[in-house]
Structure 1
Amino acid sequence: MTATIRPATEADIPALVALEAGFPPEDRFPVRTWRRLLRGRSAAYVAMDGEDVVAAAVYLFREGTKIARLYSLTVAPAQRGKGLARALMAGGEADAAARGCTLARLEVRQSNLPAIHLYERYGFRVLALSQCYYPDGETAVRMEKSIAPEESLNT
């Protein structure tokens, strides 16, 4: 992987919106949501290939809990298989560990088998299924992973 990982900024929003073009329409973040995520208690990261945003991840953090939520992860189709998702998750988990989190959780569409397999290879395990989770009625697979500090910093 030759991409650089860095925190996302508001200047990245047009590229972030474009990156999600492959998502189902109801799963895409509008500009307003990206602005809120970048200003809130979340942490957003982008992978840069030169001047281009080629992947992104968003983690949500809540005060009073030790659980980080991987809220969104996307990699441009031409960039898949290069370790970008793993690098973004490792960075997010290191940040989460530094904030005192010990677990990462996520939801993924049950039909998104490539993503489910990626998360399983990265150490997530299935917790439960959430029926009718998505606006179109699709079931979500809820997954969890331990993010002990020593694991997060050495991946």
Structure 2
Amino acid sequence: MKTKPDLQSVTLRRATLDDLNTLEQIENNCFAGDRLHRRSLRNWIKAPHGEFIVAVSQSRVVGYGLVWCHKGTRLARLYSLALLPEMRGSGTAVRLIRELESATAARGYLFMRLEVAKTNQAAAALYRRCGYRVFGEYHDYYEDHSDALRMQKTIQYLSIDKTQRLTPWYQQTTPFTCGPAALMMAMASLDQSQVVDQKEELDIWRQATTIFMTTGHGGCHPLGLALAASQRGFAVQALINTEGPLFIDGVRSPHKKEVLAVVHQQFVEKADRDEHIDVIYAEIDQQRISDWLQAGYAVIILISTFRLDGKKAPHWVAVTGIDERCLYVHDPDAEDISQLAIDNQYLPITRQDFDKMSAFGSGRLRTAVAIKKQG
């Protein structure tokens, strides 16, 4: 009769480059597909935004757990968990998960997410025992076309979110269409019949673009997005904390500044003529966002990406909920190869961080658009 490994003999520590050969062997032993290759394992060992912990028994690495920490938010993802067959049933997997949760929570993260094959009932049961709950599915997720369950756990206490809005996620298809992508998500959260595709994304961008930004194509003006939403049957409130032309702080060319000012004035005049748009020139605070959500509005808001990617770019996101500690957003940008759609949905951002992120540029521009079905 085979004896189960002694859990007391297993120790946990951070992975090092000396573990690379063994980790590669474990990866090949445990997974038929969707493996982390040697180069990826090396990068994860050195990555400052990861928690990479190995289990050691009798001086031999017998398993590992890897967590990816989403920069600028309070969301982490259990990226991979692997254990040699002889260690299964020893309790080592639970210890690895708890150690990863503890290390991740110590970094200030609140939620851990993961995906697991729907057919892998043993692994799903393990995660359920550890407190993870299913909140969705991915179809055709793995190399073998099987589906994945999406699971989540709160790893630090958080009050119950009473204003979370079920919102479909859409990935922007160009670097300059975050505004249309965020607006489509907001509209679809209120009306399932709303079109959410690239054609609609680009159509909204043509309606709402500022023409120029600091470089490249222009992003979207809040009043341009407000007009696009109004034309699609929504009542709109647009809040801006300045009455002057927007997005000119980082523009050096006098000609571009002049064009931006003309476009701004055109949007102001069109919004003033639209009876379904209420333009409010005032500072945004989180209470107003909460009030909007409580009143049934869907909200998109402009943030600076500095805390997400260090680039200080203006970026539109859809707000999906708020509670005592966090605001939750859908981010339409998922260019980072480490990210999956799951990493960009219902992102928890602490209120303190969000307050800093929602002011853009040297002029501290704050702006948001709230929409609601007319009638």
TM-score with structure 1 setting the length: 0.91
Shift of 1:21: 2.3
Shift of 1:24: 3.8
Matches within 5 A, 1:93-132: 93-132=101-140
Deviating above 6 A after TM superposition, structure 1's stretches of 4 or more consecutive aligned residues are: none
Q: Which of these residues, 2, 17, 21, is aligned with residue 14 of structure 1?
A: 21
Matched-pair contact (CA < 8 Å) for 1:45–1:88: yes
Matched-pair contact (CA < 8 Å) for 1:37–1:44: yes
- Structure having the larger proportion of residues in strand: 1
SS at match of 1:90: helix
SS at match of 2:98: helix
TM-score with structure 2 setting the length: 0.39
CA distance in 1, matches of 2:115, 2:89: 21
Matched-pair contact (CA < 8 Å) for 1:57–1:88: yes
CA distance in 2, matches of 1:47, 1:68: 21
Matched-pair contact (CA < 8 Å) for 2:68–2:76: yes
Max radius of gyration: which structure?
2
Q: Which of these residues, 141, 148, 152, is aligned with residue 144 of structure 1?
A: 152
| AA matched with 2:64 | A
Q: What runs of 5+ residues in structure 2 fail to find an aligned partner?
A: 1-6, 158-375
The residue that corresponds to 1:27 in the other structure is 34
CA distance in 2, matches of 1:22, 1:113: 19
Matched-pair contact (CA < 8 Å) for 1:8–1:45: yes
SS at match of 2:149: strand
Matched-pair contact (CA < 8 Å) for 2:30–2:84: no
| AA matched with 2:137 | L
CA distance in 2, matches of 1:66, 1:89: 18
Matches within 5 A, 1:39-54: 39-40=46-47, 41-54=49-62
Matched-pair contact (CA < 8 Å) for 1:17–1:28: no
CA distance in 1, matches of 2:12, 2:146: 32
**Does residue 85 of structure 2 align to residue 92 of structure 1?**
no
Listed one character per residue, the Cα deviations across residues 74-105 of structure 1 (whole Å, up to 9, x for unaligned) are 11110111111111111111111111111100
SS at match of 2:146: coil
Shift of 1:27: 1.6
The residue that corresponds to 1:67 in the other structure is 75
SS at match of 1:106: strand
Shift of 1:72: 0.5
Percent identical pairs in the alignment equals 36
More contact order relative to length (CA 8 Å, sep ≥ 6): 1
CA distance in 1, matches of 2:88, 2:113: 22
CA distance in 1, matches of 2:138, 2:98: 26
Matched-pair contact (CA < 8 Å) for 2:114–2:152: yes
Shift of 1:134: 1.3
Q: Which of these residues, 12, 27, 43, is aligned with residue 5 of structure 1?
A: 12
CA distance in 2, matches of 1:6, 1:67: 23
Shift of 1:71: 0.5
Q: What runs of 5+ residues in structure 1 fail to find an aligned partner?
A: 150-155
CA distance in 2, matches of 1:94, 1:24: 26
| AA matched with 2:72 | G
| AA matched with 1:26 | G
| AA matched with 1:19 | I
SS at match of 1:26: coil
**Does residue 58 of structure 2 align to residue 58 of structure 1?**
no
Matched-pair contact (CA < 8 Å) for 2:118–2:148: yes
Matched-pair contact (CA < 8 Å) for 1:110–1:141: yes
CA distance in 2, matches of 1:47, 1:123: 21
